[in-house]
Structure 1
Amino acid sequence: MARNSSLAPQMALSRLSLLLLAALALSSLPILAIARGGDAISNRSGHLGQRTALPKRRLFEEKEPQITEEMTRGYMSNSELEMAVKKFAKRCANISRVYRYGFSKTTISIGKSVNGVPLWVIEISDKPGQKEAEPAFKFIGNVHGDEPVGRELLVLLANWLCNNYMQDSLATLIVRSVHLHILPTMNPDGFALRRRGNANNIDLNRDFPDQFYHMNDVISLRQPETKAIMDWVKQQHFTASASLHGGALVANYPWDGTQDTRKHYYACPDDKTFRYMATVYSRSHYNMSLSKEFEGGIINGAFWYPIYGGMQDWNYIYGGCFELTLEISDTKWPKASELPVIWEYNRMSMLNLVASIVKTGVHGRVFAANTGRPLPASVIIRGIDYKVNASWTFGDYHRMLAPRGNYEVTASMPGFQTRSTRIQVEDEAVNLDFILNLEGDAHTPSLFANGCDCSCHGNARLLGFLRGIHLELFLLLVILLFLCFLFKRKKMLKFPRYREPNAAKRDLVV
């Protein structure tokens, strides 16, 4: 009887230990967060099935210039670009990592081109490869094979950040507060072939699913480079991005096409924010904002050059990512000797655009009041038909907004009460956390000391503690410690018996 009674707390302890291990295992599983566009935006394409005729894919809007050997001299080949990326990774290992096609603990599946060229990506951060409650930005170059300036500038950008981290305030801000991902070339095959399309002669910037036309809905017909970008966006939960093109000097913003296929200004729900982002780039540029062709150096895509199946609109609708299409050189393939000047003209624009995702807008996290757990809630702005989703991992959200505006921000999650509050966004970002009560339980006691539904600045100490640990695991640890205490106390009370020479020796389960 004594043996059975002594094993009871041990058996309970074993069960709790197994429960704790299972909870830890489940909590460590990777969960992919996919931020999508607003429902109303997605529903706009609901009527498309009624159309009987769809426009055929147009690969080229203009005659391609002949790329000569002289024009390519001084540009990195694909193999030289790969070497440059690997050299950078070795030199700047403390603030970067390089990943490409493959699966491992340190690699993410990005993809390969039609001809099997890996799509190398550089990530720059003070904690590369680690998930943090920080916004992520991506740059993509060389979408069109005959527009190679972007791939050169992106390698220069990576090296500049490495050289100036902890010396330049802007470089330090980006490295510490953003996860920057750089894909120098999306179309290495097109570059090698010196043409716009990929190895299958498909224009990759017409190959994405479109909100108005179903021409790219067949997944099996989608190009591997396109699939790679789509999978990448689903994995990384980007806040904003930009693709670098050539042939003009302007910052292009959504929408890129119109529902009636006519050429006219067609604003997306976040038109004001996109105009702000485009202006950040244009005004930071040496002469883009002085353009006589484009007022202020920015343009609505549908008003200038309507396209369908573009990457920019797809990112905004389906990826929860605010993307610009940046035309950074009047000439598609300028002489390599001009690259240093083009780099200097665009350097501050690129840096300021990345920094803008932490310098403005509204950022925060969403928690459950009853458990303190992060919630992948939806965050919407009243009057703007679009939403972003907080991440599963930390419940963090990052919502781009134009400065100098008054906004009503709402966080909602099925099973929880919706919360709203008004904020004033000036020239700096606003930090706004939400704590949601269970639906139908208005008096649920909050685990947060202040009891507020949201907080912008205070109570950071307690909130920070609860952010770092799941409440259930914390309670299990407390129970385990208490049971251990009881077990040791019982052992101490029986200690005199073990000193008796005739006492039986027992096997203990600890």
Structure 2
Amino acid sequence: MEQQQHEHLRVTRLVQVPYKGEFLPVHAISMGSQSPDAPCLMYVGGVHGLERIGTEVVLSFLHTLIERLEWDHSLISGLEQLRLIFVPALNPVGLVRNTRGNGNGVDLMRNAPIDAVSRPPWLAGGHRLHPSLPWYRGKKDEPMETESQALMQLIRRECFSRPFSLVLDCHSGFGFKDRLWFPYAYSQKPIDHLGEAYALKQLLNNTYPHLDYEIEPQSKSYTAHGDLWDHLYLESLETKSVFLPMTMEMGSWRWVKKNPRQITSMMGLFNPVMPHRLQRVLRRHIVLMEFLIRATRAWEKWLPTGQNRQISYQQAMEHWYGTKPQPTSPITEGGNPHYEPYDTPGSP
């Protein structure tokens, strides 16, 4: 792992992956506080090489912040209480080849060692048939792909030691609406931090009531094997960190509807082709990404604790699952005061 130092930025080469006799790097660009007590916000793109718009959105926002670092004292001072990390192109070989999977044909979001407990959609939910088919998980019991392992190591190092961390992983596809998904994908049971996810949703909706994102557990749309964020979230429950990974699924069907000729190419199915539409998409998500910076930095102001956490959890259960459970919140000795586990229906 190599690092390059700049006044406000640190560029780290996480790993290199082979392609046609060369090696393509996976970089992480970080800025802000290095204090272990500072919250962390991470933007990820390029997990699926076909969905280039995810990388473009992350790079566009990174460019904006770099320009502001030259003159915006409010941004510079705000970064003293926040750590920001960008991984714009996790799957560089897929981006070069315009494929969903990496150089081995593996879908990095189907690659984790976790199986869906309910029947996922055939093929799309992950399979082990052949790497020439999309959504290939990789061979059973083999190590995870190099890119997946690099991201996991970064998350463990940067997020799990902090009191609060949030990830926005940028994708495209699946429908006409822009969605913000949080775990689980492998199961329809609620996550332990469902109340925190609902509090973030309410904070966004109250602050920007005209933003149009469908915020929900991924399992409300479909379940899947091998979801990397499920795997990392479950691992985070063994730590003292509140870790909320979210996937932004940009609704690419709208672009196809406005320009039906896009359906004739795989790239057109997942990316805006017309230049004006690309610019519109790059502008559209800036408000969300700026909001997440402020929400992460001020996490103690809105993250529910104690009785408010129980109330938020019940509201979330009613909103997303149509039920009103009566959770308990025993505080484990030595545990994180912001994480009080519930006895939730369906928990293992």
What TM-score, normalized to structure 1? Answer: 0.46
Which position in structure 2 is the counterpart of 1:97?
Answer: 10
Match of 2:221 among 304, 307, 312: 304
Match of 1:231 among 130, 135, 153: 153
Match of 2:285 among 346, 352, 369: 346
RMSD: 4.0
Which position in structure 1 is the counterpart of 2:171?
Answer: 245
The Cα offsets for residues 281-321 of structure 1, whole Å up to 9 and x where unpaired, read as: 677779652xxxxxx62222111021121122122111352
Which position in structure 2 is the counterpart of 1:122?
Answer: 29
SS of the residue corresponding to residue 243 of structure 1 reads: strand
Which position in structure 2 is the counterpart of 1:221?
Answer: 143
Which position in structure 2 is the counterpart of 1:360?
Answer: 299
User: Could you say which structure has the larger radius of gyration?
Assistant: 1
Query: 1:270, 1:384 within 8 Å by CA — same for their partners in 2?
Result: no
Match of 1:255 among 184, 192, 210: 184
The Cα offsets for residues 75-111 of structure 1, whole Å up to 9 and x where unpaired, read as: xxxxxxxxxxx9xx88xx32111110xxxxxxxxx22
* 2:237 equivalent to 1:317: no
Query: 1:186, 1:225 within 8 Å by CA — same for their partners in 2?
Result: yes
Distance 1:311 1:381 in 2: 30
Q: Any unmatched runs of 5+ in structure 2?
A: 118-136, 256-269, 317-327, 340-348
Query: 1:147, 1:246 within 8 Å by CA — same for their partners in 2?
Result: yes
Residues 288/318 of structure 1: CA separation in 2 closer, same or farther (3 Å cut): same
Residues 163/275 of structure 1: CA separation in 2 closer, same or farther (3 Å cut): same
Residues 131/218 of structure 1: CA separation in 2 closer, same or farther (3 Å cut): farther
Q: What letter matches 1:315 in structure 2?
A: L
Residue 200 of structure 1, CA deviation:
1.1
Residues 313/255 of structure 1: CA separation in 2 closer, same or farther (3 Å cut): same
SS of the residue corresponding to residue 247 of structure 2 reads: strand
Which position in structure 2 is the counterpart of 1:167?
Answer: 72
**Alignment map for 1:70-469 (pairs within 5 Å):** 93-100=6-13, 110-115=14-19, 116-125=23-32, 127=33, 130-165=34-69, 167=72, 169=74, 171-172=75-76, 174-210=78-114, 220-238=142-160, 239-247=165-173, 248=175, 249-258=178-187, 265-278=188-201, 289=212, 297-319=214-236, 320=241, 321-330=243-252, 331=255, 332-335=270-273, 337=275, 338-361=277-300, 410=331, 412-413=333-334
The Cα offsets for residues 92-137 of structure 1, whole Å up to 9 and x where unpaired, read as: x32111110xxxxxxxxx2223533111111011x5xx44421112
SS of the residue corresponding to residue 202 of structure 1 reads: coil
Residue 328 of structure 1, CA deviation:
2.7
Q: What letter matches 1:246 in structure 2?
A: S
Q: Any unmatched runs of 5+ in structure 1?
A: 1-85, 101-109, 259-264, 290-295, 364-379, 386-400, 423-510
Query: 1:329, 1:342 within 8 Å by CA — same for their partners in 2?
Result: no
Distance 1:384 1:150 in 2: 33
Higher RCO (C-alpha 8 Å, min separation 6): 2
Residue 174 of structure 1, CA deviation:
4.6
Q: What letter matches 1:113 in structure 2?
A: V
Distance 1:142 1:286 in 2: 29
Q: What letter matches 2:144 in structure 1?
A: R
Residues 359/204 of structure 1: CA separation in 2 closer, same or farther (3 Å cut): same
The Cα offsets for residues 247-289 of structure 1, whole Å up to 9 and x where unpaired, read as: 141111221122xxxxxx5321211222333555677779652
Query: 2:114, 2:186 within 8 Å by CA — same for their partners in 1?
Result: no
Distance 2:78 2:336 in 1: 31
Q: What letter matches 1:266 in structure 2?
A: K
What TM-score, normalized to structure 2? Answer: 0.66
Distance 2:193 2:47 in 1: 24
Distance 2:189 2:94 in 1: 31
Query: 2:106, 2:138 within 8 Å by CA — same for their partners in 1?
Result: no
Distance 2:235 2:293 in 1: 21
Query: 1:255, 1:268 within 8 Å by CA — same for their partners in 2?
Result: yes
The Cα offsets for residues 423-481 of structure 1, whole Å up to 9 and x where unpaired, read as: xxxxxxxxxxxxxxxxxxxxxxxxxxxxxxxxxxxxxxxxxxxxxxxxxxxxxxxxxxx
Which position in structure 2 is the counterpart of 1:81?
Answer: none
Residue 352 of structure 1, CA deviation:
0.9
